């Protein structure tokens, strides 16, 4: 529409003016419509161009994925597969690509493929692939094949630890903070002009194998989510190929080892029939040296005039090697220890040989025999052959003068492993040299001796393994909580090598509470250990559900009964609350705990004992005590106080008196208890926990009493703000105030009224609000027009975890927030846990 106006000093519009106005408006309308149509066509054209570009990009991505399917994993070689990923992704997706694999996998130790680095989440990676497009100009910091440990703050270790990709669209100053812990790499990315990068984890079959790094140096377009998805697809395909290569290599090596063991067993079966004397005299003990001496005593002088038995030093030291790692080095001379030497009376050749216990490098012929696993026979010894037999040139002439006549070297082989070797020598007075029949006989004797020696080695190793298994089924980390200082000991039985069924556990609970559990599965052996593992796992799960100790024992009783075959166990469970010092205990046929008051008075806590777990149908009862500051609680298993020939009451009294004795530290009390009760001579496993109540500290626990006044919400927020400021946790203030507002408001609106607010600082920040309503809160999904119903959903989204538990007066709703790294360190001077 067009409006024409004239001022008063001009003539009024006439018909001709109207006609002219219509003409002008008509022409303007046509021009406007032309502009509109042009704009529409222009927008359509731009949309078509954008769609075309997106289609082209999608085709390129699809082509890159197809190329990856065709090129990645063409071999079962780890390094080749990693290099294929780098070459496929550059230059299609990146200007430069680096593939880093966990050293445990690249080195392939046939064990777990999870990183075994330190607890700080650093990553030990080997670079197996690198490719850069022409003109990229990036210079690698380290060559392919090098191994580097990445700080946990770097994107590489972070990506691996969290199994999430890292996308940095633009490498600005803020993004460079990723490399604060790696100055060399920070300098390199600046100098090389890296504009954008992605770090993608290589994950296959649920396990992280390494990372793939994609860099853009000359490409202007920054990485986006579509690039990240494409990189993730390429990494996923490569990870499966890499894992396939690793599994193939491991299975191939295992198959080769099995085949070799089978060949050795078949060769042993083809030797001479068993000799009665060897069957009766060799291997009467599980002692390495005695078994070697038995072989020497058997063959001198009936088979040889002079005999030495040497074992690999690794076998003598501890008899334990890493899985699939040979005892024999691949090259060079072998480190041996002389364990037995024997000769016919009247010969002085012993002075020219290593003395028992002496360690030395083997001679060339010795090392050759051990490496080949074959006997070496020298029928007639001369000067030249004697130089090969001995590793010491100064022993050649004395040996020749002593009358060495014939020589036979036989390796000691058992279960596919080379343990050492035996040298058989005949002197000049025995003119018959060794022949092939003697070789067969010597191999049979050496084989029997080797099996006996290996049995001794395996016995020692299996005992070590049993002890390792025992400890693996027990807590690996026990730390001080905001209310307790804890010390513990676990000792296996001193006279049995079998795994025992004793266990203990310290389980952190919500709101700073902690549960102490000690139990004893009756019997020994793998079955007892397996039952112990099941009960311990069940106990941790049940206690984590905030069940009372008596209910935990009832559920454990059902679990033990379901195991069948009369599997019984005793157990005592205690839950301590640092806020009021209360401890709730329940026992299932276990020995009574010892309580030491702050003044040093000690007593046995007589609890309703109940029946052992597994009996079934017997009720359990919980008892509540209030422990003052500096009080000490001792839980233990019967192996600590029971001794053959000593009354149980005597052991309990001795334990009570020893625990009550003042010591500088809790650890010293533990040591004193074990020493006083002669724990080293126990025929049963021993588990003991000492827990000392710590005074409540304002830098650990803060409490605010609440009321039904609506203004209490603001009071609670202010209390949270001031407390977190005092604890130097201001980074959590905003979210903590928001969540406390929701908890207190919910208590006012839906749960009677709030009664108390608790803040507890441990490894996490715990926030709890008590109210007078016993109904548990739940998350419900509010409709768009609902005024409420979003509070618990907000808590569920922002809190690390949350829950509720019933109390005598209602319930307690709690939540936890993760404390930023370094915050506890900043409070270390104030006694932070």
R_g over Cα of the chain: 39
Instruction: Please report whether residue 221 resides in a domain.
Output: yes
Residue among 644, 516, 537, 525 at smallest CA distance from 590 = 516
The answer to whether the beta carbons of residues 158 and 179 sit under 8 Å apart is: no
Torsion of CA 69, 71, 77, 81, to 10 degrees: -80
The CATH number of residue 604's host domain is 3.60.40.10
* 437, 465, 493 - which closes a domain: 465
Q: Are residues 240 and 116 in the same domain?
A: yes
Instruction: Please report whether residue 255 resides in a domain.
Output: no
The CATH number of residue 165's host domain is 3.30.450.40
Predicted local distance difference test score (pLDDT) of residue 189: 87
- The Cα-based distances of 603 to 609, 638, 693, 824 in angstroms read 16, 17, 16, 37
Q: Quick check: bond before 217 cis, omega within 30?
A: no
Instruction: Please report whether residue 266 resides in a domain.
Output: no
Predicted local distance difference test score (pLDDT) of residue 588: 93
Q: Are residues 457 and 411 in the same domain?
A: yes
The arrangement of strands across the sheet holding 96-102 comes to 147-150, 123-132, 96-102, 207-216, 196-204, 166-168
The arrangement of strands across the sheet holding 359-361 comes to 359-361, 335-343, 306-312, 417-427, 404-414, 376-378
Q: Are residues 661 and 547 in the same domain?
A: yes
The answer to whether the beta carbons of residues 546 and 496 sit under 8 Å apart is: no
Predicted local distance difference test score (pLDDT) of residue 696: 80
Instruction: Please report whether residue 259 resides in a domain.
Output: no
Coil, helix or strand at residue 225: helix
Cα torsion 651, 656, 661, 666: sign: positive
Q: Are residues 392 and 334 in the same domain?
A: yes
Residue among 173, 178, 264 at smallest CA distance from 213 = 178
Q: What is the distance between the alpha carbons of residues 140 and 150, in angstroms, rounded to a whole number?
A: 15
Predicted local distance difference test score (pLDDT) of residue 783: 63
Q: What is the distance between the alpha carbons of residues 507 and 543, in angstroms, rounded to a whole number?
A: 8
Residues near 674 by Cβ (< 8 Å), separated by ≥ 6?
489, 491, 640, 680, 686, 688
Counting every residue written for the chain, the total comes to: 833
Could you give the angle at the alpha carbon of 172 between the alpha carbons of 213 and 85, nearest 5°?
10
Coil, helix or strand at residue 516: strand
Q: What is the distance between the alpha carbons of residues 508 and 575, in angstroms, rounded to a whole number?
A: 10
pLDDT in tens, 576-600: 998 888 999 999 999 999 999 999 8
* 645, 667, 693 - which closes a domain: 693
- What is the span of the domain harbouring residue 822? 701-830
Q: Are residues 328 and 438 in the same domain?
A: yes
Residues near 277 by Cβ (< 8 Å), separated by ≥ 6?
298
Instruction: Please report whether residue 258 resides in a domain.
Output: no
Q: What is the distance between the alpha carbons of residues 92 and 672, in angstroms, rounded to a whole number?
A: 69
Q: Are residues 665 and 743 in the same domain?
A: no
Q: Are residues 623 and 671 in the same domain?
A: yes
How many helical (H) and strand (E) elements, i.e. helices and strands, does the chain have?
21, 27
Instruction: Please report whether residue 719 resides in a domain.
Output: yes
Q: Are residues 446 and 542 in the same domain?
A: no
| Residue 790 per-residue DSSP state | -
Q: What is the distance between the alpha carbons of residues 667 and 654, in angstroms, rounded to a whole number?
A: 18
The CATH number of residue 780's host domain is 3.30.565.10
Per-state percent for the chain, helix, strand, coil, to nearest 5: 40, 25, 35
Instruction: Please report whether residue 267 resides in a domain.
Output: no
Predicted local distance difference test score (pLDDT) of residue 319: 52
Instruction: Please report whether residue 364 resides in a domain.
Output: yes
The answer to whether the beta carbons of residues 688 and 488 sit under 8 Å apart is: yes
- Please identify every stretch of the chain with a pLDDT value under 70, giving residue numbers as ranges: 51-58, 60-62, 108-120, 137, 263-275, 318-332, 346-352, 463-467, 469-471, 473-474, 476, 479-480, 494-499, 679-681, 782-790, 822-833
Cβ burial of 828 (10 Å; 0-12, 13-18, 19+) is: exposed
The answer to whether the beta carbons of residues 810 and 755 sit under 8 Å apart is: yes
Residue among 489, 488, 493 at smallest CA distance from 466 = 493
Predicted local distance difference test score (pLDDT) of residue 792: 79
Q: Are residues 683 and 707 in the same domain?
A: no
Q: Are residues 56 and 107 in the same domain?
A: no
Instruction: For residue 112, count other CB atoms closer than 10 A to its CB.
Output: 10
Residues near 179 by Cβ (< 8 Å), separated by ≥ 6?
154, 185, 186, 189
Residue among 481, 483, 490 at smallest CA distance from 631 = 483
Measured in degrees and rounded to the nearest 5, phi and psi for residue 147 equal -115, 135
Place of tokens 């992605």: 198
Coil, helix or strand at residue 289: helix
Pairing of strands 484-491, 417-427: unpaired
The answer to whether the beta carbons of residues 654 and 677 sit under 8 Å apart is: yes
- The Cα-based distances of 327 to 321, 357, 371, 411 in angstroms read 7, 19, 11, 13
Q: Are residues 295 and 240 in the same domain?
A: no
Q: Are residues 597 and 458 in the same domain?
A: no
Predicted local distance difference test score (pLDDT) of residue 167: 92
Pairing of strands 147-150, 196-204: unpaired
* 465, 487, 502 - which closes a domain: 465
The arrangement of strands across the sheet holding 764-771 comes to 701-705, 754-761, 764-771, 810-818, 801-807
Tokens matching residue 685 = 């496993």
Predicted local distance difference test score (pLDDT) of residue 321: 47
Residues near 777 by Cβ (< 8 Å), separated by ≥ 6?
746, 750, 751, 792, 804, 813
Q: What is the distance between the alpha carbons of residues 88 and 100, in angstroms, rounded to a whole number?
A: 16
Q: What is the distance between the alpha carbons of residues 694 and 170, in angstroms, rounded to a whole number?
A: 51
Tokens matching residue 51 = 């769609």
Q: Quick check: bond before 625 cis, omega within 30?
A: no
Place of tokens 């200007």: 95
Number of domains in the chain: 5
Coil, helix or strand at residue 582: strand
Residue among 598, 565, 574, 572 at smallest CA distance from 507 = 574
């Amino acid at each position: 529409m067009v409006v024409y106006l004239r001022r008063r000093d001009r003539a009024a519009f006439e018909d001709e003016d109207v006609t002219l106005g219509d003409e002008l408006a008509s022409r303007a309308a046509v021009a406007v419509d032309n502009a509109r149509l042009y704009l529409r066509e222009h927008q359509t054209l731009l949309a078509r161009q954008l769609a075309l570009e997106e289609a082209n990009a999608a085709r390129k991505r699809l082509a890159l994925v197809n190329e990856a399917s065709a090129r990645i994993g063409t071999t079962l070689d780890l390094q080749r597969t990693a290099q294929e990923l780098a070459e496929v992704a550059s230059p299609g997706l990146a200007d430069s690509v680096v593939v880093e694999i966990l050293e445990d996998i690249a080195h392939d130790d046939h064990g777990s493929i999870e990183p075994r680095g330190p607890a700080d989440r650093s990553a030990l990676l080997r670079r197996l692939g690198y490719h850069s497009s022409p003109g990229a100009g990036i210079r690698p910091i380290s060559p392919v094949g090098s191994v580097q440990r990445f700080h946990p703050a770097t994107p590489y270790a972070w990506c691996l630890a969290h199994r999430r990709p890292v996308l940095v669209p633009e490498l600005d100053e803020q993004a460079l903070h990723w490399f604060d812990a790696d100055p060399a790499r920070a300098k390199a990315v600046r100098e090389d002009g890296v504009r954008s990068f992605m770090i993608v984890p290589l994950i296959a079959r649920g396990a992280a194998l390494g990372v793939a790094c994609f860099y853009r140096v000359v490409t202007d377009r920054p990485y986006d989510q579509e690039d990240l998805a494409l990189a993730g697809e390429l990494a996923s395909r490569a990870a499966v190929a890499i894992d396939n290569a690793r599994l193939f290599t491991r299975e191939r090596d295992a198959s080769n080892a099995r085949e070799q063991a089978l060949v050795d067993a078949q060769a042993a079966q083809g030797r001479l029939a068993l000799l009665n004397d060897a069957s009766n005299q060799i291997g009467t003990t599980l002692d390495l040296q005695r078994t070697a001496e038995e072989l020497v005593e058997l063959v001198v002088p009936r088979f040889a005039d002079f005999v030495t038995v040497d074992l690999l030093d690794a076998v003598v030291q501890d008899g334990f090697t890493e899985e699939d790692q040979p005892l024999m080095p691949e090259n060079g001379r072998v480190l041996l220890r002389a364990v037995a030497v024997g000769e016919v009376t009247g010969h002085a050749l012993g002075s020219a040989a290593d003395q028992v216990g002496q360690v030395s490098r083997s001679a060339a012929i010795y090392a050759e025999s051990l490496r080949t696993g074959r006997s070496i026979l020298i029928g007639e010894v001369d000067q030249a052959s004697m130089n090969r037999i001995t590793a010491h040139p100064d022993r050649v002439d004395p040996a020749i003068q002593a009358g060495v006549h014939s020589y036979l070297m036989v390796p000691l082989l058992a279960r596919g492993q080379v343990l050492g070797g035996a040298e058989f020598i005949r002197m000049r007075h025995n003119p018959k040299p060794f022949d092939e029949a003697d070789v067969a006989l010597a191999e049979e004797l050496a084989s029997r001796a080797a099996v006996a020696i290996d049995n001794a080695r395996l016995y020692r190793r299996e005992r070590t393994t049993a002890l390792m298994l025992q400890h693996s089924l027990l807590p690996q980390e026990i730390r001080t909580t905001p209310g307790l200082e804890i010390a513990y000991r676990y000792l296996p039985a001193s006279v049995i090598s079998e795994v025992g069924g004793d266990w203990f556990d310290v389980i952190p609970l919500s709101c700073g509470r902690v549960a102490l559990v000690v139990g004893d599965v009756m019997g020994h052996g793998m079955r007892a250990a397996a039952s112990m593992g099941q009960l311990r796992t069940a106990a941790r799960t049940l206690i984590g559900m905030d069940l009372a100790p008596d209910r935990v024992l009832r559920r454990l009783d059902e679990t033990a009964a379901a195991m069948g075959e009369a599997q019984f166990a005793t157990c005592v469970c205690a839950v301590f609350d640092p806020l009021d010092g209360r401890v709730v205990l329940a026992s299932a046929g276990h020995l009574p705990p010892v309580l030491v008051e702050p003044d040093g008075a000690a007593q046995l806590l007589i609890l309703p004992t109940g029946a052992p777990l597994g009996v079934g149908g017997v009720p359990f009862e919980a008892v509540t005590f209030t422990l003052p500051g500096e009080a000490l609680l001792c839980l233990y298993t019967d192996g600590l106080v029971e001794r053959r020939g000593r009354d149980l009451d005597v052991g309990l009294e001795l334990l009570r008196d020893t625990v009550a004795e003042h010591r500088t530290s809790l650890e010293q009390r533990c040591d004193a208890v074990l020493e006083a009760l002669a724990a080293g001579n126990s025929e049963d496993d021993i588990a003991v926990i000492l827990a000392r109540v710590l005074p409540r500290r304002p830098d650990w626990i803060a409490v605010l009493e609440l009321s039904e006044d609506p203004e209490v919400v603001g009071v609670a927020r202010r209390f949270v703000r001031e407390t977190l400021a005092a604890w130097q946790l201001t980074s959590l203030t905003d979210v903590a105030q928001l969540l406390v507002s929701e908890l207190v408001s919910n208590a006012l609106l839906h749960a009677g009224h709030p009664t108390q607010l608790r803040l507890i600082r441990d490894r996490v920040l715990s926030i709890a609000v008590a109210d007078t309503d016993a109904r548990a809160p739940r998350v419900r999904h509010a409709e768009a027009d609902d005024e409420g119903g979003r509070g618990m959903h907000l808590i569920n989204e922002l809190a690390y975890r949350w829950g509720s538990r019933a109390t005598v007066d209602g319930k307690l709703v709690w939540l936890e927030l993760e404390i930023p790294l370094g915050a506890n360190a900043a409070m270390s001077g104030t006694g932070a846990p």
